[in-house]
Amino acid sequence: MAKEYVDIATLKYLLYQVHKVEELLTSERYQDYDKDSLDLFINSIKEFSDRELFPYFKEMDETPAVYKDGTIMVHKQVDVMMKKGGDMGIIAGPFDYGEGGLQLPFIIHTASAYIQEAANNHLPGYAGLTQGAAELIVHFADDALKETFVPKMLSGAWGGTMCLTEPQAGSSLSDITSKATPTDEGHYKISGQKIFISGGDHQYAENIVHLLLARIEGAPSGTKGISLFVVPKLRVESDGSLKQNDVVTVADFQKMGQKGYATTHLGFGDNGDCHGWLVGEANKGLKYMFLMMNSARISVGRGGAAISMAAYQASLEYANERPQGRKLSSDGKKDPNEKPCLIIEHPDVRRMLLLQKAIAEGSLSLVLLAAKYYDIIQSTKDPEAKEKYGLLLEMVIPIVKTYPTEAGSVAVSNGVQVLGGYGFCSDFILQQYYRDIRIFSIYEGTTGIQSQDLLGRKVPMENGKALELLLTEVLDTITEALEFDELRSSAKILGGKIKLTKEVLDFLMPFAKKGNYERYLSDANLFMEFLSHVVLGWLWLDIAVHAQRNLEESGQTHSKAFYESKIHTMKFYFKYELPKTSSLAESLMHPDVLTIKSKNEVF
């Protein structure tokens, strides 16, 4: 295990100087907070993570969640996470005061969860899914359901899940077959099975409240006939007692990574006695679920960013301690009489570390940006601002979900490589990070789904208004960067990538206009990678603008080396990562169509 797992100085720099969290505190919603109180909360989360999460990270991988005697047995720290985390406001943080929450800015809640996930990505999901399930109840359920379930969930006494996926349907939610039959008592009888339910059962939960998608008998086919139900493991009787609700844990899934985070197969109504309560209106379940999906997808991207950072910290520590080989002299020779140098002195190791740093810190900035947009939407009373940031959030969400998880896997893979053979051994933690991060590009909609959402829905949204707003934000940063000699060339490069983006879309859009959507979306994943690189280039240039400004002003909050490292990493990103957009654009605009099924079978 490494000694450290997160860079708090960079986190706070991004929060306060780059994303200017204190501007949010002028709104009525967040007026009770100031920088000191936010810092106090973040510091308490770091202390909690140091004590209760990070020390158990490797142990939870070695003693995974396992199905036994009809339930899932998990590590004892799950109990600590839920109970102590509940006491600290980890679950209730972003909820309104009236709902029993702390009314924290979502960006601060996001930062706190990021610290926890960097410390131990197996634990925060139990609390995070409980929060998401409670959020659905708060937003869409009636008062009776809120009063029955939400207080216990926010305290951490009861867990919560999202039950979407079914064995025969996978990600195709239009094909779910779970049924809901109305009764004369005001509830529904639920029957069906759900798979891949994270946190779906464990021995430390007094009760688990499932938010379940099902089809009421006679409802329309497809997604239009899906409703949302509260289906607790134990239903609450009129006297307050708990009774078995015919919810059965069928099995668990043994996974490649995140072994301490239970993933279950649940059966509902095998004995005909599973009660569920309709949330909101019938046949609007998918709409309700997806209204909460933005925060869920931010959470997944946040997890990818957190694991990337933790892996970077571990490989950086190793590179600063491991002597091996000798530096190459200017004449191309090595002196065997010299002592071996630390591997961090080798250019190739430095390249891998800089790639990790660029991806980890850039991903964090991306996640915080989305969380800030979310906060502005929540807190502003200006309808124009609400619309603007609503469109910006919709535009970046697929990228927030995808880049930190896909590029994060590349970053962690480079971390394994930094350690060489040791990186592949269980004695060192990099292999665990590598296994853990792989699931994040699958959670909450795979990369393919996110890519089709980006190109198919978000780019054309409101006749391209969302994309125009995003590109305007990028151009504003380019204008700022042009003021600094140190950043001018990078600003011009990014400006060229904006032009390239428009060229790519000018090539692709005619396919959509002609109704040839299969061709239009056939390389959506390449467009996702292309636009992600442009957006990350923007965020790194923005980080560099703030760093350069700090270098030229008095009253710096960080060292000169800190700011210079941000500018150096930006330049690394622009040299090694941003140029990939050119080859991606070439593929996107290539005349050959090779992935659409044709008459000639190729497999």
Which of the following is catalytic: 361, 444, 473, 577? 444
Q: Which residues contact 170 (CB under 8 A, 6 or more apart)?
A: none
In 452-468, which positions are buried (b, 16+ CB within 10 angstroms) versus exposed (e)? bbbbeebbbeeeeebbe
Cβ-based neighbour number of residue 268 at 10 Å = 26
Residue type, 503: E
Q: Do the Cβ atoms of 209 and 133 come closer than 8 Å? A: yes
3-class secondary structure, 278 = strand
Q: Which residue has the tokens 């990600």?
A: 171
Q: What token pair was written down for 461?
A: 């949204």
Q: Do the Cβ atoms of 164 and 178 come closer than 8 Å? A: no
Residue 127 φ/ψ, nearest 5 degrees? -75, -40
Closest CA to 411 of 577, 568, 175: 577
Give catalytic status of residue 577 as yes or no. Answer: no
Q: What token pair was written down for 421?
A: 């053979």
Q: Do the Cβ atoms of 556 and 550 come closer than 8 Å? A: yes
- Quick one: angle between helices 143-155 and 77-88, nearest 10? 110
Q: Do the Cβ atoms of 324 and 272 come closer than 8 Å? A: no
Closest CA to 538 of 372, 384, 396: 396
Closest CA to 202 of 81, 52, 62: 81
C-alpha dihedral (393, 395, 396, 398), degrees to nearest 10:
120
Residue type, 349: V
Known catalytic residues are: 444
